[in-house]
Structure 1
């Protein structure tokens, strides 16, 4: 072996400096990541209200209480699970149905393309709390939506108690708002995928006589199917674990008609301070985590088979 081909030996001081720079990040991860995960998992097997000096270990009782054993908590969890199911079913489908045609439209326009992209991306960059309060305002009994319906002569669709106060319309209304906030990211993902499609493929199909609908259905849509998997997965994650919209706009009401599992986890942790429900909240959080992993695995397997 020649001298030129011999590997360069690093000085011991370089490794020391490397470890010195990496150790703070590792320590922060161990404290804020591993420790909190282990702590939260241990708490799911105990009862604690956050003020007592010691936990009371109950084993799997928290999980049993949430699923069937407790007449106080199990019905709330069942109702929240049903609401979450409808959200998880509707939000991904509606997000894809709205965002993909919108991306195709934006990809085809030539004038004002940048302006239109910015306008459609506004819901994503706007402060969430301000937007949710604005939605509350326009959905009130005397809000802009009821005023518009009245002006159009659609009095039968107006809600005297507001769209968020009617048990029949509260959850569908929140689903629409969730889709509205999810469309910008999904649209940008689809738009990036559309711009990566080889124009020669669509031009060849058009030369063979395929119309815009046929080209989109048979050529463009299969090529952006992996992006659809990402959009569906993100929507499922937000539907399963997200709760900010429901907390700010309805806090689970009227009754429990808009209570979802993520919101129920928050309420058990922070809105029942006099009761030892932190363990219940941790147990429900871990069940949501496992459900999210299962959904991600199923979604990945289905999309692999489809492609």
Structure 2
């Protein structure tokens, strides 16, 4: 008995020894960073002075309404972020589900087509964002194609990213283009998990293809839809690289989002200490993300 106990203790210590580096790494880069940013959100600091200036909730009040040099920009960025959060998930679902249904039914070149549709997801990054910027320039490929097709009235002389009316919708379209492949993949996984007997029963009952899709397949894919929406909400809240690289929030702040505003407040407001302001915006964004995730999970549970 004593030998078994020692062996179990030795195995437990060995296991703890293996996971200890990961725990330390998480504690340093995760817990410490979160705690540090939370404390910083209640202080003023420019990133260089040796001491903070504790201001309590002043940063949050300035962000929400009090400071005219911060609040209007944050409000505009929040509105733009909200538009991205609404439109991108809708486009991902509306475009991803029909493509997944088509790919699930065809047999000819199925693997090749799946690879083609998934390429935008695995190739997204700085190079792709710069490629899109070139396509959308005044002398870019998109204007050239529109003019070649006789649709010159739709072309944008200042570029699709230079026109305040088209800049944000264009970036939303690019973000949707990069998020639709993962929606297709998730829907394909869900479709392949559906019991064929269920679909056969619907056909026996006289359901058409459209009725089977809306009354049988769609309800069964509701958890997948919730996952697709949640992933795109996360990207809309946290992602700002595309906005930074393609427009840097321009023209005139029409593509500024909360993630980009945090970046600007932290590193490009050199006239006054704003790292505390950036941290406050980040924590408000974090709370919004938690609430959205909670609502999404509650809605999913209430319908399953």
Give the TM-score band, short-chain normalised: over 0.9
**Selected match of 1:304 from 292, 301, 304:** 301
Q: How many Å apart are 1:117 and its aligned residue?
A: 0.6
Deviations 1:133-177 (A, max 9, x none): 110011111111111111111121110100000000000000101
Q: How many Å apart are 1:271 and its aligned residue?
A: 2.1
**Helix, strand or coil for the counterpart of 2:224?**
helix
| Structure 2 residue runs without a partner (length 5+) | none
CA distance in 2, matches of 1:209, 1:100: 23
CA distance in 1, matches of 2:19, 2:114: 40
> Who is 1:78 aligned against?
75
> Who is 2:216 aligned against?
219
**Within 5 A, what are the aligned runs for 1:1-307?**
8-11=4-7, 12-307=9-304
CA RMSD of aligned residues (A): 1.6
CA distance in 2, matches of 1:258, 1:116: 33
TM-score by length of 1: 0.95
Q: How many Å apart are 1:248 and its aligned residue?
A: 0.7
CA distance in 2, matches of 1:210, 1:68: 55
CA distance in 2, matches of 1:7, 1:295: 52
Q: How many Å apart are 1:222 and its aligned residue?
A: 0.6
CA distance in 2, matches of 1:32, 1:159: 45
**Helix, strand or coil for the counterpart of 1:168?**
helix
In the superposition, relative to structure 1, how do residues 223 and 254 fare at CA in structure 2: closer, same or farther (>3 Å)? same
Q: How many Å apart are 1:15 and its aligned residue?
A: 4.0
TM-score by length of 2: 0.96
CA distance in 1, matches of 2:113, 2:271: 51
Between Structure 1 and Structure 2, how many residues are aligned?
303
Contact conserved, 2:124 with 2:178, CA < 8 A, in 1?
Answer: no
CA distance in 2, matches of 1:18, 1:193: 36
